[in-house]
Structure 1
Amino acid sequence: MPTAELGDVRVQYRAEGSGPAVVFVHGLAEDHRTWQAQQDELTGCRTYALDLRGHGGTPVGRASGDLAQLRDDLIAFLSEVSGPAVCAGFSLGGTVVLAAAARRPELVTGAMAIATSSVVGRAAADFFRERAQQVRDGDLEAARATLRADTAEMLTRADAAALGDYRVECIGDGAGYANAALAMAGLREEPLTPLLSKVTCPTVVVGGGKDVFCPRKASEILLDGLPEASYREVPDVGHLMRADDPAGFAEAVRESLGDLGAR
């Protein structure tokens, strides 16, 4: 797979197809494979799916534990690899996409924020910090067990065991997982919400009908703050909606990209 030297890390990514550029950004404890079905389908676009620092084949580098660094990693990818693009992000990836769109609007021509929050409450911040602390304490087996349990809670009908195996594989030694978890926890003290007005590109917010980790309220905060946004829902799915309903998720992504001018 190709890689790109971006600052302090060599980012691994998968690129497929030809046409308008679309960049996919995965969520916490995932990697580029999250988007394989979309890349295989969308052959009329030049699609890119990168591994965030510390996930998949990208090293963690000099991780700072904040959203700004992950945002700047995506900005560097858009500047040096893909060029301006429609960007789609899931959960953590959605916050990274929106942060990049607010910072460098000329690089993000359209945005899709899937199961995404711009702010987290105290309980959610504690949730993320506790998982980061397990890694920092050196108890990787506990972190893996917790990740498997979290995976089961994020599903309504998919095979939690198989998806848990995949997510455990994606986090490697756990350093990138802890780094990204701290970035999400940081949304309590420094929410992304005040910056949403700077996202000038068209945006589609995609929510899961039974997502308790990122409920409809989170989508409504995004819709209230974004200047040009629409909403699409995948019914009867939990947070990990691509696993709960692959066909429904694929349709939502396909139609949302069409709304954003990438077909």
Structure 2
Amino acid sequence: MDTVEVNGLRLAYRRAGHGPAVMFVHGGAEDSRTWTPQLDALSDEFTVFAWDEPGAGGSEDVPDGFGLAGYADCLAGVLRTLGIAPAPVVGLSWGTTVILELYRRHPATVSAMVLADGYAGWRGSLGAQEAEARLSGVHAALDAPGQLDPTLPGLFAGAPPARFVPVLDAMAAGVRRRSMLTALTAMAAADLTEVLPTIAVPTQLVWGELDVRSPREVAREFERRIPGAHLELIPGCGHVSNLEAPESFSAIVRRFLQHRGRPSAAR
């Protein structure tokens, strides 16, 4: 992995391939390894970057007082430091919330976006009561002895694909509890619904048809509120659609980047 320093933090990222650049933004309790199938599939045509957010993977821990704005500012700094801004950004789940905040604070760094199985924050997409219930569940999971369960009920429509269980286990073993709580507390508090109608870059929505973590109603609300957004549902797939149906997910991203995303060349 490579690293850059942004806002006083050492941040890690993975890079694969050659060609126009695209940045992938992982979900909560994950790191850049979750994008392994996309780095493999798309590196024949694109320069694929996947960051480890502050507090995840090879990146430094989150500092005191860190919040959603900090994640967005760091991601903007990574894009600029790598010399790829403006770039298409692809995010899943919590990663979509980070991207929406990135666009709100740093719109000039984003040329297009793919939002997958996501939220305008838990509060924004699910309501205050469900957001608080989920945050309570996070606290309970972090207080329980042993390793976090990487196959939380609802993440997959069925059993997680066997070939990705080792990476799921490795990411779960590497979760830093304070950092995870920082990210998901920000997720629970966020309401970025007002950002959706302001998006003026090409936007692709990708949802698992059987996603129960971010139900199809959330996808339809994104489609209704984001100008020109196009939604594709992946049949038989749950919340972690990039791992449960990696070939379908990568094909959707490829088509979008080829025809609408217009990524710029990486240096």
For normalisation by structure 2, the TM-score amounts to 0.86
CA RMSD after TM alignment: 2.2
Number of corresponding residues: 253
1:107-146 equivalence runs, <5 A: 107-118=109-120, 119=124, 120-121=126-127, 122-132=129-139, 135=142, 139=143, 141=145, 144-145=147-148
**Distance of aligned partners of 1:126 and 1:158 in 2 relative to their CA distance in 1, 3 Å threshold:** same
For normalisation by structure 1, the TM-score amounts to 0.87
Following superposition, the deviation at residue 241 of structure 1 comes to: 1.6
Flag structure 2 segments of 5+ consecutive residues without an equivalent.
none
**Distance of aligned partners of 1:159 and 1:225 in 2 relative to their CA distance in 1, 3 Å threshold:** closer
SS of residue paired to 1:233: strand
Flag structure 1 segments of 5+ consecutive residues without an equivalent.
none
**Distance of aligned partners of 1:132 and 1:116 in 2 relative to their CA distance in 1, 3 Å threshold:** same
1:28-177 equivalence runs, <5 A: 28-42=28-42, 43-64=44-65, 66-81=67-82, 82-118=84-120, 119=124, 120-121=126-127, 122-132=129-139, 135=142, 139=143, 141=145, 144-145=147-148, 147-148=149-150, 150=152, 152-159=153-160, 162=165, 164-171=168-175, 173-177=176-180
Deviations 1:7-44 (A, max 9, x none): 13210001122222100000011111111222222232
**Distance of aligned partners of 1:134 and 1:158 in 2 relative to their CA distance in 1, 3 Å threshold:** closer
Deviations 1:144-191 (A, max 9, x none): 34x4462x43112233782651341241x322211111111112xxx1
Letter matched to residue 28 of structure 1: G
Tell me the residue number matched to 1:183: 186
> Contact conserved, 2:87 with 2:263, CA < 8 A, in 1?
no
Q: 2: distance between equivalents of 1:186 and 1:208?
A: 24
Percentage identity across paired residues of the two chains: 30
Q: Which moved more, 1:36-45 or 1:49-58?
A: 36-45
SS of residue paired to 2:205: strand
